Amino acid sequence: MSSSSAGYCSQKSLGELKIRSKILVKSANGGDPDAQAMLRLSLKSEPPYQHKDGLQFIAQKAGFRDWRHAAHVLSGEAEIGEDMGTLWYDRKCGGLLNIWCRNYEEARGEFEGHPDAYLLPYKTQFVIGDEDFMRALGLLAQGRPQRPSSARDLVSSYGSEAWDNLTFSRLQTALGPTGYHARHC
């Protein structure tokens, strides 16, 4: 599952979190009370805030334990079965019928029986969802996935440029567009 076999160094998604952190820290240090309140959630109570404070908050908001966890996963260094965070799930998916699997082998077996499904990582588990699931994640545009239809298994494409681009799109949906004022993170 690591990116070494793909030969691609994922940068777009990591860069997105870094940019969001800089925007948040700049707003907080500029006196924005909403930005300061968000950074207080990252255990830093008073300004001046540092980039590491923003990275911690943004990483957690994106579904990772902390910045190191986000950097490990988004850089393409994680292996199958490692904690991939919760980025590929949304509360909107809770009412949908999904198939949950405890390991990748089980997930691949289930996935092969559902040709129109998508296989995504969630923490150390795997979820198989349909187009409604992908729509709830904000990853279907006009009925078409924002990636090649042949790559419905996001686990097997992990660490590739296509995965990084889709992850970037998911971050945009989960966190809102870059450049929004900090209170919209």
Q: How confident is the model over 100-150, as pLDDT tens digits?
A: 999 999 999 999 999 889 999 999 999 999 999 999 999 876 555 555 444
- Phi, psi for residue 164 in degrees, rounded to 5: -60, -40
Q: Are residues 13 and 68 in the same domain?
A: yes
Bin 110: left if φ > 0, else alpha if -120 < ψ < 50, else beta: alpha
Q: What is the pLDDT of residues 57-78, one digit of tens each?
A: 999 999 999 999 999 999 999 9
- Enclosing domain of residue 101: 80-157
**Do both 61 and 31 map to the same domain?**
yes
Phi then psi for residue 119, to 5 deg, are -110, 120
The reply to whether 58 and 2 lie within a common domain is yes
pTM listed for this prediction: 0.85
Same domain, 14 and 84: no
Output the 3-class SS for the chain: CCCCCCCCCCCHHHHHHHHHHHHHHHHHHCCCHHHHHHHHCCCCCCCCCCHHHHHHHHHHHCCCCCHHHHHHHHCCCCCCCCCCCCCCCCHHHHHCCCEEECCHHHHHHHHHCCCCCEEEEECCEEEEECHHHHHHCCCEECCEECCCCCCCECCCCCCCHHHHHHHHHHHHHHHCCCCCCHHHC
Residue 24 has pLDDT above 50, yes or no: yes
Rg (CA), the chain: 17
How many domains, in total, are found in the chain?
2
